[in-house]
Amino acid sequence: MNIKITPNPTPKPKPDVNGLQFGKVFTDHMFIMDYYGGQGWVEPRIVPYGPIELDPSCKVLHYGQEVFEGMKAYRHADGSPVLFRPEMNFRRLNISCQRMCIPAFDEAMALEATRKLVELDADWIPDAPGTSLYIRPFIFGADNALGIGPSEHLIFLIICSPVASIFGGNMAAVNILVETELVRAVRGGTGFAKTGGNYAASLLAAKKAQVAGFSQVLWLDGVERRYIEEVGAMNIFFRIDDEIITPSLDSGSILPGITRDSCIQLLRSRGHAVTERRIAIDELCQHMRDGRVREIFGSGTAAVVTPVGGIQVCDEFFTINDGKSGEVTTMLYNTLTGIQTGKVADEFGWVVRV
Ligand SMILES: *Cc1c(COP(=O)(O)O)cnc(C)c1O
């Protein structure tokens, strides 16, 4: 499929990298294509970034048929832009599509579109430490009709935003609150899919946590409210003695993070024992009381690897590693960002040149 490019005649000035907030400014171009029942995906094009017009009856606004991805482009030391495991994002986007009754798209074509877009807006990729170009592909149902059912018109967009590290960088540890009432995802639900509704369902708990002084919520499973699932937009890892444990994905209510997968592979390659299994909050609490929990960290594209310095479970607050990043967390952060920016050898072949 040929991607038609309409260059932006009025490029914007670039923002100051020091004041970058997550997802607030966008580059000069965006990718867009449509799906029409009977025709398939048509008219892939790159156009100047700007508003899109939607009818008030547009289905996504009412019933939330939507999926998205989050990936990053980095600038290597030699100045060339690279992507990190982008084929994994488009594979996962198609899996999300299937759950949300959105027709599949050609993954190779979407990757080609991403490459073209990043190439065109390459001078928007910041190169200060911890910065990158965040890439947000998303698809939504765009029928103008209030009847419930999958849309026959869908719109696929890719937009890009220069970002700093989501929690301000510097490996600052965050405090998290275990949510014991509200749930994010249930077995048989949409937890494994990257869909807006999961986030809508999490806002209230996140607000409660923020009011109480915590930056994130740690979710428990939606059935027994006992097994640890994940944190907002991060998967979670616990270093208990010398074993690293992360919740297994088989419940279907945890998002299978690409950073999670990269961390597991990196840790194993460095000789660490990593176990994917169910872990109950009461088990974790016992290990914390026994002083066996040496590190906790979250993983995600936006957050990279973020140390957890404290965790509140009901009335108990546990400080982890004196509220600082631990050695495994810091090693992972340095290795991952090093591979992404070309400072560490890419032994797994994760980096893709634009
Ligand atoms: C995107 C996301 C993650 C992290 O996935 P990555 O592929 O590592 O970016 C974790 N949890 C949720 C709920 C997410 O939406």
Tell me what pLDDT residue 102 has. 98
Neighbours of 139 (CB within 10 A): 29
- Stated pTM of the model: 0.96
Neighbours of 45 (CB within 10 A): 16
Closest residue to atom 13 of ligand 1, CA basis: 233
- The structure tokens 């700093």 sit at 164
**248-291 tens-digit pLDDT:** 999 999 999 999 999 999 999 999 999 999 999 999 999 999 99
Domains of the chain with bracketed CATH: 4-164 (3.30.470.10), 174-346 (3.20.10.10)
Do the beta carbons of residue 209 and residue 216 sit within 8 Å? yes
CB of 257 closer than 6 angstroms to any ligand 1 atom: yes
**Cα 158 to ligand 1 centroid, rounded to whole Å:** 17
The Cα–Cα gap between 97 and 103 comes to 7
Q: Is the pLDDT of residue 114 over 80?
A: yes
CB of 190 closer than 6 angstroms to any ligand 1 atom: no
**Cα 259 to ligand 1 centroid, rounded to whole Å:** 8
Closest residue to atom 12 of ligand 1, CA basis: 233
> Of the given ranges (10-14, 73-77, 284-288), which has the lowest mean pLDDT?
73-77
**122-141 tens-digit pLDDT:** 999 998 888 999 999 999 99
CB of 135 closer than 6 angstroms to any ligand 1 atom: no
Closest residue to atom 2 of ligand 1, CA basis: 233
Tell me what pLDDT residue 317 has. 97
As a residue count, the chain comes to 354
CB of 28 closer than 6 angstroms to any ligand 1 atom: no
Go through 257-273 and write b for each residue having 16 or more CB atoms within 10 A of its CB, e for each that does not.
Answer: bbbbebbbebbeeeebe
Q: At what angle do helices 86-99 and 107-120 cross, to 10 degrees?
A: 130
Closest residue to atom 14 of ligand 1, CA basis: 233
> Of the given ranges (11-20, 22-31, 159-168, 316-325), which has the lowest mean pLDDT?
159-168
- The structure tokens 């960002």 sit at 337
CB of 264 closer than 6 angstroms to any ligand 1 atom: no
